[in-house]
């Protein structure tokens, strides 16, 4: 069995402002660094063999903090794990989008990466990593929207439950080519109630 821990990066100032980040390369804020450290400490009671991360700084920085807590020396960066392209809505809030494009802005062609494209890209790279390191315990630090859509394919019906919180931990097990989720959107390390299935 291969264990894959999926992690959404820690919080950023744009997260707090409700701005769509997409490919904008924002760093973590102080809360995001603290969240990543708490998650690393929580994970340190378990054995993890390696960490992969998106190449965007908010994910890489989250991975670096966690790796430091776990004593893992190398982080393997993969640009296929980066967030989905948000096109023209990148950097905007819901209020700004409604003001600029109207209440039905989400029905317009604004250059966003299609959900199914993100689903295929994300699920393919997660599966590839798991198969490459079969039998290991692997952490993957990525982004909320990409992970949400990836999970739609890996574990159908799971991602309908709720959006992933910053530094949320989702545990998948791959066995004989099948994916099973034993923890979704876990935020126990932040002192929040455990969300198990």
Where residue 122 sits, what CATH number does that domain have? 3.40.50.1240
Domain span including residue 125: 2-86+113-190
**Per annotation, catalytic residue among 35, 61, 83, 90:** 83
pLDDT of res. 31: 97
Residue 67, domain member (yes or no): yes
Known catalytic residue at 83: yes
Residue 95, domain member (yes or no): no
**Per annotation, catalytic residue among 3, 9, 148, 189:** 9
Please tell me whether 12 is known to bind a ligand: yes
Count up the domains in the chain and report the number.
1
Residue 101, domain member (yes or no): no
Please tell me whether 40 is known to bind a ligand: no
pLDDT of res. 194: 53
Please tell me whether 58 is known to bind a ligand: yes
Residue 104, domain member (yes or no): no
pLDDT of res. 184: 92
Please tell me whether 178 is known to bind a ligand: no
Residue 36, domain member (yes or no): yes
pLDDT of res. 159: 63
Residue 197, domain member (yes or no): no
Mean pLDDT by 10 residues, the chain (197 residues): 98 97 97 97 96 98 98 97 97 97 95 95 98 97 96 85 89 94 93 60
Known catalytic residue at 9: yes
Residue 77, domain member (yes or no): yes
Residue 119, domain member (yes or no): yes
103 φ, ψ to 5°?
-65, -25
């Amino acid at each position: 069995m291969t264990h894959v821990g999926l992690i959404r990066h820690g919080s950023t100032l744009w997260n707090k402002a409700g701005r769509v980040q997409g490919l904008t390369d924002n760093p973590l804020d102080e809360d995001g660094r603290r969240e990543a450290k708490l998650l690393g400490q929580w994970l340190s009671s378990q054995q993890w063999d390696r960490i992969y991360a998106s190449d965007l700084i908010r994910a890489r920085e989250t991975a670096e903090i966690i790796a430091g807590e776990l004593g893992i020396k190398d982080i393997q960066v993969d640009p296929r794990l980066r967030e989905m392209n948000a096109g023209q809505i990148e950097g905007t809030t819901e209020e700004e989008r409604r003001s600029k494009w109207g209440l039905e802005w989400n029905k317009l062609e604004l250059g966003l990466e299609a959900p199914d494209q993100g689903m295929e890209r994300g699920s393919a790279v997660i599966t590839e990593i798991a198969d490459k390191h079969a039998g290991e315990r692997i952490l993957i630090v990525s982004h909320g929207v990409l992970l949400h859509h990836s999970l739609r394919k890996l574990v159908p019906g799971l991602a309908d439950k709720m959006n992933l919180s910053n530094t949320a931990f989702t545990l998948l097990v791959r066995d004989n080519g099948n994916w099973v989720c034993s923890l979704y959107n876990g935020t126990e390390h932040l002192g929040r109630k455990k969300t198990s299935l």
